[in-house]
């Protein structure tokens, strides 16, 4: 579908009846609607730029593993930056948790990471700042910043290891006030920093997150002063209606019906698996219903995904079918229905571990959704991409003390008119590579090789993209954790295309090579070499 501006869509649109209970707004000026779309998105982008340049951890400063977004006073997504899909699609639950559990006032900043109270997984620390206009007793907007920290405590450095419960994965922070009426809670901050590795790095990165939120407040209040808060809030509502309207027109172009797909997670790192994921995708009546009932029960290891993650992955699948310039906001969420089984891998009970649900299960849910959608739109959907973020952490509390985290790219799936891209981040992640110089400067290790895994993409009329080969030599003893998927079987091709090669990991010690499981936490010694080969993407079509 050709891309349309907000102005063009609303200039030609007929007035519509809104559901009962919704505010009826005057028809917006098309030009102003387009302007407000970019003004609100630009605030999120600017906040992200400030966070990125203010943080000191390589994971935030270099890899850009963070997201910024804006919500209205009703906890509805208004605008976001082009950051991390798995963060942005789930951030609304953080705002709702902050509102429901706390009495908010001007100058407050709420911090949280609890996956069962608005969070995703523990390393993703979210901050929420309510934005008040003078004379109003309730927030008119919320600014949200979520960043993945290289360590948040737990049994292993990096907080991404194999664990049996949430507490072993890291420090659990329920929604609490880090700042009250503008005053920092130093005792809370000391408590958090005393339970993580690299406390000074965490402290400064927290300050960077706060600075991003303070900038969002200044920009939004300035916008309200210039145009009037009623106008700004009205156009935020208009933007949601626009996204909903265009989303419905896109749904109308998808053949109505039910489309089923099945996928599986390799294992949970605790000896269990494989774990089946099922989807019955129903298209019709202006809605997309993602029915995941019948998926496996919750796992003992940390591949469980809470409903926030399931919603984010489902939204992403639909968003991939939309024009690039379409604003992502509450309007698109209105078109989705999510069904899960409580106590399942996609709707676990606390304190089930969830570290990999955010990064690994989310990727497989995208594969699942696209496979179902391919039955409705067989000539538009690409083959499966790498299907894993290949999470790698190193760390030590001994000198030199450090903690690091990164995701390793793989190959993207080929499409009906193009080959897959090689060595790129796909789907639910949107981060960058850690520069070799940065890694070697900040950590006691050496990058022996970093190259394309030639021939790992699946064959077909269009070949899948190739994965990555990375070899890391340790200069001192430390702990390592790998949390990956697609090591048992490669990403499937589509319409006769071949699957990509599965991932593989090796430990090379004194010249001897030992294959490692995809999910493992273990100690390494100086001179050890870790070799990771990430999966290639699936091919599309027969040769």
Could you give the CA distance from residue 442 to residue 453 in angstroms, rounded to a whole number?
26
Last residue of a domain, one of 193, 219, 244: 244
pLDDT band with cut points at 50, 70 and 90 for residue 398: confident
User: Omega into 274 within 30° of 0, i.e. cis?
Assistant: yes
Last residue of a domain, one of 219, 244, 269: 244
Q: Is residue 301 part of a domain?
A: no
Q: Is residue 257 part of a domain?
A: no
84-133 pLDDT tens trace = 878 777 899 999 999 999 999 999 999 999 999 999 999 999 999 999 99
Q: Is residue 449 part of a domain?
A: yes
Q: Which residues of 487-505 are buried (b: 16+ CB within 10 A; e: fewer)?
A: beebbbbbbebbbbbbbbb
Q: Is residue 173 part of a domain?
A: yes
Could you give the CA distance from residue 261 to residue 277 in angstroms, rounded to a whole number?
8
Least confident span in 84-98, 308-322, 415-429: 84-98
23-35 pLDDT tens trace = 445 689 999 999 9
User: Omega into 400 within 30° of 0, i.e. cis?
Assistant: yes
Could you give the CA distance from residue 478 to residue 488 in angstroms, rounded to a whole number?
27
Taking only Cα atoms into account, the Rg of the chain, rounded to an integer number of angstroms, comes to 23
Q: Is residue 255 part of a domain?
A: no
Could you give the CA distance from residue 65 to residue 147 in angstroms, rounded to a whole number?
6
Q: Is residue 266 part of a domain?
A: no
Query: What pLDDT sits at residue 290?
Result: 98
Q: Is residue 471 a contact partner of residue 480, using CB atoms and an 8 Å limit? A: no
User: Is the pLDDT confidence value at 5 over 50?
Assistant: no
* Segments forming the whole domain that contains residue 152: 26-244
Last residue of a domain, one of 209, 244, 279: 244
Query: What pLDDT sits at residue 25?
Result: 55
pTM confidence score: 0.93
Q: Is residue 317 part of a domain?
A: no
Percent of the chain with pLDDT over 90: 89
Indicate the DSSP class of residue 108: -
Query: What pLDDT sits at residue 505?
Result: 98
Please report where in the chains the tokens 């664990």 appear, as a residue. 163
Q: State the average pLDDT over residues 69-82.
A: 94
- Bridge partners of 469? 451, 533
Q: Is residue 302 part of a domain?
A: no
Based on the structure, what is the number of domains in the chain?
A: 2
Could you give the CA distance from residue 305 to residue 263 in angstroms, rounded to a whole number?
15
Query: What pLDDT sits at residue 15?
Result: 37
């Amino acid at each position: 579908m050709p891309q349309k501006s907000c102005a063009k869509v609303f200039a030609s649109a007929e007035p519509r009846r809104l559901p009962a209970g919704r505010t009826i707004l005057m028809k917006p000026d098309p030009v102003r609607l387009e302007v407000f779309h970019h003004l609100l998105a630009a605030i999120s982008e600017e906040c992200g730029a400030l966070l990125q340049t203010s943080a000191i951890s390589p994971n935030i400063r270099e890899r850009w593993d963070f997201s910024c977004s804006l919500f209205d006073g009703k906890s509805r997504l208004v605008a976001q930056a082009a950051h991390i899909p798995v963060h942005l699609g789930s951030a609304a639950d953080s705002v709702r948790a902050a509102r429901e559990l706390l009495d908010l006032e001007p100058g407050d900043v709420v911090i949280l990471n609890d996956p069962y109270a608005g969070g995703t997984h523990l390393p993703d620390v979210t901050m929420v700042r309510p934005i008040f206009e003078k004379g109003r007793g309730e927030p008119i907007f919320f600014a949200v910043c979520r960043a993945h920290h290289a360590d948040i405590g737990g049994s292993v450095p990096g907080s991404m290891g194999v664990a049996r419960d949430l507490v072993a994965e890291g420090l659990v922070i329920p929604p609490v006030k880090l700042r009250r009426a503008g005053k920092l809670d130093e005792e809370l901050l000391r408590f958090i920093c005393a339970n993580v590795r690299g406390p000074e790095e965490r402290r400064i990165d927290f300050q960077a997150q706060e600075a991003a939120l303070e900038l969002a407040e200044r920009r939004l209040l300035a916008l309200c002063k210039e145009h009037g808060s009623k106008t700004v809030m009205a156009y935020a509502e208009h933007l949601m209606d626009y996204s909903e309207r265009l989303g419905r027109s896109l749904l109308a172009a998808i053949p109505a019906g039910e489309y089923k797909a099945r996928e599986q997670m390799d294992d949970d790192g605790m000896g269990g698996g494989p774990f089946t994921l099922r989807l019955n995708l129903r298209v019709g009546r202006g809605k997309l219903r993602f029915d995941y009932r019948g998926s496996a029960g919750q796992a003992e290891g940390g591949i469980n995904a809470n409903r926030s993650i399931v919603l984010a992955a489902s939204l992403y699948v639909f968003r991939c079918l939309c024009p690039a310039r379409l604003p992502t906001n509450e309007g698109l969420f209105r078109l989705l229905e999510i069904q899960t089984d409580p106590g399942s891998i996609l709707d676990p009970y606390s304190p089930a571990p969830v570290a990999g649900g955010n990064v690994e299960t989310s990727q497989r849910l995208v594969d699942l959704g696209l496979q179902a959608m391919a039955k409705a739109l067989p000539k538009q959907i690409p083959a499966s991409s790498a299907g894993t973020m290949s999470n790698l952490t190193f760390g030590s509390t001994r000198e030199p003390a450090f903690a690091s985290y990164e995701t390793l790219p793989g190959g993207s799936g080929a499409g009906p008119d193009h080959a897959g891209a090689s060595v790129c981040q796909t789907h639910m992640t949107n981060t960058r590579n850690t520069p070799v110089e940065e890694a070697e400067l900040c950590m006691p290790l050496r990058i022996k090789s970093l190259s394309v895994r030639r021939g790992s993409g699946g064959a077909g009329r269009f070949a899948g993209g190739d994965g990555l080969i990375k070899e890391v030599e340790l200069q001192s003893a430390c702990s390592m954790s790998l949390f990956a998927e697609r090591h048992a079987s490669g990403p499937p091709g589509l319409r006769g295309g071949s699957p990509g090669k599965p991932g593989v990991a090796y430990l090379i010690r004194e010249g001897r090579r030992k294959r490692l499981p995809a999910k493992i936490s273990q100690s390494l010694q100086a001179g050890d070499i870790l070799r990771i080969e990430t999966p290639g993407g699936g091919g599309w079509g027969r040769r």
